[in-house]
């Protein structure tokens, strides 16, 4: 009887093994069948048709109706599938088609911006920088005139020098500068996708590219924000690290860590990723050996990145500036009970921001429990799927399915990395994930953590892509046959070029613009304005029947009101609503101000009084009686006073 039971158990085990063997065989057959089916997309006429269909879908969802857009879960999946089919091509046509698709997706939001549309207040009337973007743009313009950078902009010196070089090359044309910034992001996205494709295949590459496209185009395209530098450098860093793994080149790793250090200095965020990368690199030799040389090389690359940031900060900043100044206000918000950075200005109005860090440490020392509660709340909010994956910047009613899709993919990716922990790639991704999580209390959701983490968003994208990496017998199946025609050194050279613009470009362009002569005297109740009007730095409000659609610099009055309808009814938005046809709003430096820390001013003038739309203008203007603006002052000239509430 006992022997019979053993026979039954043995037969069941054998049946289960046969079933498992059959399942594996069926899975292999399905993969082979799917691969053969995809071969049809290598036929020139079919792949050209796929390219045109995808391009047509993008045009339909990006350029025809701003309310029927691509930022949906369905749109995201279509873009991923479309990129998979496009990325499959292995020749020059495939590279060109892939880049065109990425470029169009990245540039699409600018089409609406040049019609005066804005979403969140980092720009007004389409492309005129406001809020944080206004401060950074002011700093870059100050460099061109050979002046010191005000404290607000000086806290992000690397982006300021980078932007000043871009503005010089584009002759301060705002729209052209924003296009150049977007093209740079598109190139970085394409290079990262190419490297992911080489290592892991087309599906992970398509997913990573789609995530980064949605991240950048959802909030940062067309705005003078630090993410314009942090995002591309973060992607290039990941691409270089992957190259180092593939070529077993530690020099690539050192350069990749340096590039990421520059990215995190430009767009401060997940700083703890850097020490985690150092720890990962120390074990590069494997076999549980720790390399002191690797420790010094990686630590040196990180230190060098911070020294570059500090040197540029000291070289361009005005007295009283503090590097990483906003970290103190963030820490204060955490120390006082997860209240957000703004409470510093409520609790200590007029106190220099440099004191925030010291005061925060004292509060943490006296009430550590309050800080720990804030840390718990930060993790509790950050780890919610709809927040963690909100870097896709989809509407509220669309983010849930996308977030849970990426949650499943990321969970599978982490599980597969843990199963293959002996691989350097697995160790890299898990170390970076730990670094990001350790950074959450110092870049909390209460202070927009997702935006702060953008320099490392590409790593999170690849973490989700790891769910689709082909691991066999504890090894990754590489895809060298998919190597694009681009040379392997392109990413190195391109990252080097961007860092050259940051470190050396500003030295060349500083003082390149001559401060104009002051040549106008005004009445006692007026302020003299000496302004060099930059291309696309102004908006002419015109009659509704003047043109079929708005197109900078001419915006129809109806479109002006429509574009401002989602903003508050007070402050500068209310002033802009009062601008009438025949009037122009200009954004620029007032060289007659005389104060070195003065920012840009908003100036409303009758359009027919502008002497030179792309040159020097003189006006006498009166400040508008409105609550202080976040950046700059709002003034009007004679002829438009009746529109505003003047003192």
For residues 452 and 551, state if they share a domain. no
Task: Name the strand (E) or helix (H) holding 51.
Answer: helix 44-62
Same domain, 68 and 53: yes
Is residue 275 located within the same domain as residue 370?
Answer: yes
Domain that holds residue 560: 527-643
Cβ–Cβ under 8 Å, residues 335 and 364: yes
* Whole-number average pLDDT of the chain: 86
Burial of 434 (0-12, 13-18, 19+ CB in 10 A): middle
Q: Name the more confident of 365 and 476.
A: 365
Q: Tell me the C-alpha distance between 464 and 397, whole Å.
A: 22
Q: In the predicted model, is pLDDT for residue 169 greater than 90?
A: yes
Residue 479 within any structural domain of the chain: yes
d(CA 565, CA 573): 9
Sign of the Cα pseudo-torsion (212, 95, 494, 106, in order): negative
**Residues 47, 67: Cα–Cα separation, whole Å:** 30
Co-location of 64 and 36 in the same domain: no
Mean pLDDT check: name the lowest of 92-96, 103-107, 152-156, 169-173: 92-96
Residue 402 located in a structural domain: yes
Least confident of 9-18, 226-235, 285-294: 9-18
- What pLDDT digit, counting tens, does each position of 435-461 carry? 999 999 999 998 888 898 999 999 999
Together in a domain, 478 and 533: no
71 close to 214: Cβ distance less than 8 angstroms: yes
Q: What is the token pair recorded at 184?
A: 């740079």
Q: Does 620 reside within a domain?
A: yes
Q: What is the mean pLDDT of residues 136-165?
A: 94
Q: Classify residue 23: in a domain, yes or no.
A: yes
Model confidence at 625, pLDDT cuts 50, 70, 90, reads low
String of DSSP letters for 322-360: -TTTHHHHHHHHHHTTS--TTHHHHHSTTS-GGGHHHHH
pLDDT one-digit tens code per residue, 500-546: 999 999 999 999 988 888 877 888 888 888 998 888 889 999 998 88
* Cβ pair 67, 29 in contact under 8 A: no
Q: Is 534 within 8 Å of 173 (Cβ atoms)?
A: yes
User: Phi and psi at residue 300, in whole multiples of 5°?
Assistant: -65, -40
Gap between the Cα atoms of 553 and 499, Å rounded: 33
pLDDT of residue 635: 84
**Statement to judge: residues 486 and 534 lie in one domain:** no
Has residue 544 been placed in a domain?
yes
Maximum Cα interatomic distance, the chain, rounded to a whole number of Å: 114
Looking at the structure, tell me whether residues 205 and 244 fall in a common domain.
yes
The number of distinct structural domains making up the chain is 3
Cα–Cα distance between 364 and 516 in angstroms, integer? 50
Give the number of other CB atoms < 10 A from CB of residue 458: 28
In a domain, 517, yes or no: no
pLDDT at 23: 46
**Does the residue 520 lie in any domain?**
no
Q: Do 437 and 486 share a domain, yes or no?
A: yes
In the beta sheet, which residues pair with residue 635? 603, 623
Give the model's pLDDT for residue 479.
53
Mean pLDDT, residues 620-638 taken together: 70
Considering the domain architecture, whether residues 91 and 216 belong to the same structural domain is answered as yes
The verdict on 65 and 28 lying in the same domain is no
* Predicted TM-score (pTM) of this structure: 0.90
Shared-domain flag, residues 491 and 591: no
Q: Alpha carbon of 575 to those of 27, 500, 509, 636: distances in Å? A: 64, 41, 35, 11
Tell which of 478, 507, 536 closes a domain.
507
pLDDT at 631: 47
pLDDT band at 477 (very low <50, low <70, confident <90, very high): low
Q: What does the pLDDT look like over 189-246, one tens digit per residue?
A: 999 999 999 999 999 999 999 999 999 998 899 999 999 999 999 999 999 999 999 9
Domain edge (last residue) among 507, 542, 572: 507
* Residue 513 belongs to a domain: no
Q: What is the mean pLDDT of residues 468-476?
A: 68
Confidence label for 22 from pLDDT (cuts 50, 70 and 90): very low
The answer on 9 and 140 residing in a single domain is: no
Select from 249, 270, 157 the least CA-distant residue to 491.
249
C-beta separation of 86 from 51 below 8 A: yes
């Amino acid at each position: 009887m006992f022997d019979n039971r053993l026979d039954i158990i043995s037969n069941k085990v054998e049946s289960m093994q046969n079933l498992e063997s059959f399942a594996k065989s069926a899975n292999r057959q399905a993969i082979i069948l799917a691969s053969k089916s995809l071969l049809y997309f290598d036929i020139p006429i079919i792949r050209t048709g796929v390219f045109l269909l995808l391009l047509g879908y993008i045009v339909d969802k990006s350029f025809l109706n701003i309310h029927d857009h691509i930022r949906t879960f369905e749109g995201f999946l279509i873009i991923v599938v479309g990129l998979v089919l496009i990325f499959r091509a292995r020749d020059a046509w495939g590279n060109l088609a892939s880049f065109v698709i990425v470029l169009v997706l990245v540039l699409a939001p600018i089409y609406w911006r040049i019609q005066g549309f804005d979403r969140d207040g980092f720009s007004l009337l389409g492309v005129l920088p406001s809020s944080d973007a206004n401060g950074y743009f002011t700093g870059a313009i100050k460099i061109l005139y050979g002046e010191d950078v005000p404290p607000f902009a000086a806290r992000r010196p690397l982006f300021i020098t980078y932007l000043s070089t871009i503005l010089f090359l584009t002759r301060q044309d705002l729209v052209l500068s924003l296009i150049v910034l977007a093209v740079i992001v598109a190139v970085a996205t394409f290079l990262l996708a190419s490297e992911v494709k080489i290592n892991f295949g087309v599906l992970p590459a398509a997913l990573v590219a789609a995530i980064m496209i949605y991240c950048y185009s959802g909030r940062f395209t067309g705005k003078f924000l630090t993410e314009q530098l942090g995002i591309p450098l973060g992607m290039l860093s990941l691409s270089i690290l992957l190259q180092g793994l593939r070529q077993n080149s530690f020099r690539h790793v050192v350069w990749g860590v340096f590039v990421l250090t520059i990215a995190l200095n430009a767009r401060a965020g997940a700083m703890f990723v850097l020490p985690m990368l150092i720890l990962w690199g120390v074990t590069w030799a494997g076999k549980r050996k720790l390399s002191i040389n690797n420790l010094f090389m990686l630590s040196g690359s990180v230190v060098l990145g911070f020294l570059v940031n500090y040197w540029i900060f000291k070289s361009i900043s005005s007295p009283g500036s503090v590097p990483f100044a906003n970290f103190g206000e963030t820490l204060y918000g955490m120390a006082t009970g997860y209240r957000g950075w703004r409470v510093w200005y409520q609790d200590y109005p007029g106190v220099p921001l440099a004191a925030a860090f010291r005061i925060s440490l004292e509060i943490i020392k006296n009430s550590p429990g309050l800080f720990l509660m804030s840390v718990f709340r930060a993790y509790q909010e950050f780890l919610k799927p709809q927040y963690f994956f909100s870097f896709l910047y989809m509407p509220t009613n669309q983010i849930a399915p996308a977030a849970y899709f990426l949650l499943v993919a990321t969970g599978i990716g982490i599980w597969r990395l843990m199963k293959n922990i002996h691989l350097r790639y697995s160790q890299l991704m898990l170390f970076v994930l730990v670094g990001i999580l350790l950074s959450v209390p110092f870049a909390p959701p209460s202070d927009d953590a997702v935006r702060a983490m953008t320099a490392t968003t590409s790593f999170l994208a690849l973490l989700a892509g790891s769910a689709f990496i082909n691991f066999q017998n504890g090894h990754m199946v590489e895809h060298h046959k998919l190597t694009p025609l681009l040379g392997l050194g392109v990413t190195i050279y391109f990252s080097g070029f961007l860092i050259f613009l940051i470190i050396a470009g500003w030295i060349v362009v500083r003082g390149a613009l001559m401060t104009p002569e002051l040549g106008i005297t005004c009445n006692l109740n007026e302020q003299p304005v000496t302004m060099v009007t930059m291309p696309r730095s102004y908006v002419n409000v015109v009659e509704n029947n003047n043109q079929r659609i708005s197109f900078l610099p001419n915006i129809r009055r109806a479109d002006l009101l429509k574009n401002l309808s989602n903003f508050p009814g007070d402050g500068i938005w209310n002033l802009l609503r009062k601008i009438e046809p025949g009037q122009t709003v200009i954004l620029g430096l007032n060289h007659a101000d005389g104060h070195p820390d003065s920012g840009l001013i908003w100036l409303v003038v009758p359009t027919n009084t502008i002497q030179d739309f792309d040159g020097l203008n003189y006006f006498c203007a009166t400040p508008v009686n409105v609550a202080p603006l976040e950046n700059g002052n709002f003034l009007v000239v004679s002829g438009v006073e009746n529109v505003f509430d003047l003192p």
